[in-house]
Structure 1
């Protein structure tokens, strides 16, 4: 079972639990009668399978342990954030008392030692929580390393630092299967690419957020990346790539659909906003259809949310100033009911196809 990812192993364990529950129900209803030897053989096989899955991937074998695992993920994130903040403030608390040589040595050693600790812990930690916690500390140490070295040697701030942050984040994410670090690396990549686009267009890189169009192309590329390079052995990476890319893409469209001055297009403000509003509706609808096709509930949810946001902002532009408020919200409610009917129809079609 070592070739299974944790998600696949958990799905296999859930399948065994569902089989046992259905078998017990059918037996109680008198619809299934297995010979004692056969039933014992099946139970023995499943017991061995569950033990192997639990040892190899630390899967949850009941609902209680699943809830505890969710709690452990939250606690792990909070603990990593707290330790990273502690490291950050420790640097600043005593930084001025250290010589330049000591400062440079600490900055170089911190990410390397925390990375070594993460790799060492991973050998003994089947759950991966402690290794990922150490990896997050290593990533924070790395960002402090680049930032503080630039301050010590008076290096001009540059967007290239975000490229270095992103590369290290991707390295840690793929080495330790850390989805949080993958998201952090993607965000750094968005900032770097957007800042580079901004400098090529003649603006200072620090004002990267003033032109949302900088983020459209990288978000499309990151969304398509899992289609070119499969991530079967990396739990949740495809979802992180596509959901985060979709969120960045639609936020940029939402801003441009209401603030045409942030566009490079050489047309009037109202015409630019109309283009991006239409594009927002079309792309959010396509995302829903893509989610239906790939059976990805998260992408369908993201598409629904942004379609509703574009629709609500459009209704607000059209009717808020002159329509009575009760009538405005009545229209919103009736539109929601219409959308519910459409989605229910799509759901039934999807179920019939399966």
Structure 2
């Protein structure tokens, strides 16, 4: 199998480690015993393969290396935040004493310099720690670029700024394989598309957050993006799906309790009932789809919001008249019932896999 990304290389290394552990157990229990030549050949093959993967993708071949890499990721993230904050406050510390022409030159140059450093780090360093650090600083400089140029030249605020920030964040995220920058790009793009949706419905774009339904187009678009191949990028498909579900379910949860903020010209109670039904149905469908497709993040998010919708209705129905011990007992019994249903679904899935293998 040809390995094309660091994610696939790390998965292969983890498989080798698991295989070695399982083989050791099997040999100790005398199920299978390899002779000396077979053991040496297998060990040599794995060692050479791990060396090639480490040279090509800078993977973690042992648990100790994984722990060190985790610490390095945290350190890189903190360093990036510190450097970005330093750049931000440096701008405002000396900004007033700089001529306008020099301000424009600095604002235009800094994001370009950050992008060049990011691309250089991507080419020279396989681990990606410095590339992610430079990428975050570059994005901060770019956001400051548009914001402060708008102030210098008195440009009216526009939702197009969110689109430009999103495009630059996506560029950096895919170049540096950085999920944090991908999340920032998704948030910016969702803000842009939601502002456009609010404008299409006759609202001023800054007020897009007051109409939760404005986020639905962004949620749909982001959920469809991972249908494109993302094998080379670590966890990008998961980030897209989680943000898409949050952008859908959070507005539905709000609308199911406060129907007055809806675009629908219906009585408040009808809007709330409608979105309560939508919330229950779509969250249940998300659980089933996640199980079918093997998307645990979709299952967990759908399960979380199904529970929230259910408990919200319990509060509306029972809190005012039911004794509190009975209310919480009902919640506990419902949780147990849901646990039994999910357990049954798990066993059914395992049984179906076994029948398919047979």
Assess same fold via TM > 0.5: yes
1:266 matches 2:226: no
Q: Hey, what's the Cα distance between the residues in 2 that align with 1:74 and 1:321?
A: 47
Match of 1:106 in 2: 106
Shift of 1:305: 0.7
Equivalent position SS for 2:124: coil
* CA distance in structure 1 between the partners assigned to 2:12 and 2:37 by the alignment: 24
| Kept after mapping to 2: 8 A contact 1:212/1:255 | yes
1:242 aligns with 2:241: yes
Distance in 2 separating the partners of 1:7 and 1:340: 33
Could you report, residue by residue, the CA deviation over 1:305-341 in whole angstroms, capped at 9, with x for unpaired residues?
1111111111111111111111111000000000000
1:316 is matched with: 315
Task: Detail structure 1 runs of 4+ shifted over 6 Å in the superposition.
Answer: none
TM-score by length of 2: 0.95
The one-character-per-residue Cα deviations of 1:240-269 (angstroms, maximum 9, x if unpaired) are 111111111111111111110110101111
- 1:82 paired residue number: 82
1:284 CA displacement: 0.8
Gapped regions of structure 1 (runs ≥ 5): none
Query: What residue in structure 1 maps to residue 190 of structure 2?
Result: 190
1:1-354 superposed matches below 5 A = 3-227=3-227, 229-354=228-353
Deviations 1:10-56 (A, max 9, x none): 11111111111111112222222212111101100000111112222
Question: How many positions carry a matched residue from both structures?
Answer: 353
Alignment partners' CA distance in 1, 2:251 and 2:66: 36
68-77 or 268-277, which deviates more: 68-77
Distance 1:2 1:100 in 2: 54
Deviation at 1:183, TM superposition (A): 1.1
Q: State the Cα distance separating 1:220 from its structure 2 match.
A: 1.0
TM-score by length of 1: 0.97
Quickly say closer, same or farther: Cα 1:96–1:213, change in 2 above 3 A.
same
State the superposition RMSD in angstroms: 1.3
How far apart are residue 58 of structure 1 and its match?
Answer: 2.0
- Structure 2 unaligned spans of 5+: 354-358
User: What is the match of residue 356 of structure 2?
Assistant: none
